[in-house]
Structure 1
Amino acid sequence: MYKELIGKKSKKVKNTIERGLVKRFAESIGDLHPIYVDEEVGSNSRYGTNIAPPTFPRVLSSGAIEGLKLPNKGLIHGEQIYHYKRPLLVGEEIYSYSVIEDYYEKQGSNGLMGFLATKRYGEDAQGEIIFTEESITIITETVRKAMKV
């Protein structure tokens, strides 16, 4: 279904790690650790500023991968793994893009399921990778049939 897209990637998109967005994100996940939201704590930390929570890249834009069309509903979030070289700093610019890593299928009790593996990269202005985010999206038999209509 998506095998022809393996290796395709989006164009890099510039994102700014905005203080207000970091605070709203921390509130939404219920983790108001002072390193995320308290400016004084951030300025006195080893980073010299506040940092974003580890799952924050989820809200960053990483562009569209040409040819990738997923339904708006019915997908299952299978897995998500983050790797960091350092935290995301409030105020910095991050360039993010995504790559289709793999697509495979497995027979389940409710039919054939598709597994779409993607990897998102976040780089600083010098092109150094700060984080990667690996995710698996599960496409159920019901969703697969609806997509072919």
Structure 2
Amino acid sequence: MFKPYIGKQSNRVKNIVERGAVKKFAESIGDLHPIYLDEETGLQSRYKGNIAPPTFPRVFDYGEIEGLFLPNKGLIHGEQTYHYERPLLIGEEIVCYSEVKDYYDKTSSMGELGFLVIESYGEDKDGKVVFSSTQTVIISEAVRKALIGK
């Protein structure tokens, strides 16, 4: 179903690691560590400023992969991992994009499931990768049928 998209990339989108967004995110996940929120703690840290929580890139815009459509409802978030070269610094600009890495089907007790593997990247202003993320989206049989019917 999604095999033709393997290897396709999204357009690149600039994102800002904005202090207010980091504060809201930290509050929403219940992690109020001072390294995320307190400016004095950030200045005294080895990073010389505040950083974002490790899962903060979840809120970034990664652009669109032309032609790839996934519904807002009915998908299952199967797995997501992050790899960092360094933390995200408050105030910095990160350019993000995604690439479809794999797609495969499996039969389960829930019917025929699709597994879409997407790798996402965040680069700094010099084009160096700051983080990457691998996400597996599980597409249920009901969603697969609805997409085929489109």
Partner of 1:21: 21
Task: Give the letter for the 2:20 counterpart.
Answer: G
Is 1:69–2:47 an aligned residue pair?
no
Query: In the TM superposition, what whole-angstrom CA distance separates every residue of 1:72-94 from its partner, at most 9, and x where no partner exists?
Result: 10000000000000000001110
Question: How far apart are residue 7 of structure 1 and its match?
Answer: 0.3
Question: How far apart are residue 142 of structure 1 and its match?
Answer: 1.1
Q: Distance in 1 between matches of 2:62 and 2:111?
A: 32
Q: Is there any run of 5+ residues in structure 1 with no aligned partner, and where?
A: none
Partner of 1:38: 38
Question: How far apart are residue 143 of structure 1 and its match?
Answer: 1.0
Instruction: Give the 3-state SS of the residue equivalent to 2:145 in structure 1.
Output: helix
Q: Distance in 2 between matches of 1:124 and 1:57?
A: 13
Partner of 1:58: 58
Q: Distance in 2 between matches of 1:2 and 1:131?
A: 25
Structure 1 consecutive aligned stretches of length 4 or more whose deviation exceeds 2 Å: none
Q: CA RMSD in A?
A: 0.6
Q: Distance in 2 between matches of 1:147 and 1:21?
A: 34
**TM-score between both structures, scaled by the size of structure 2:** 0.98
**TM-score between both structures, scaled by the size of structure 1:** 0.98
Q: Is there any run of 5+ residues in structure 2 with no aligned partner, and where?
A: none
Partner of 2:95: 95
Is 1:111–2:111 an aligned residue pair?
yes
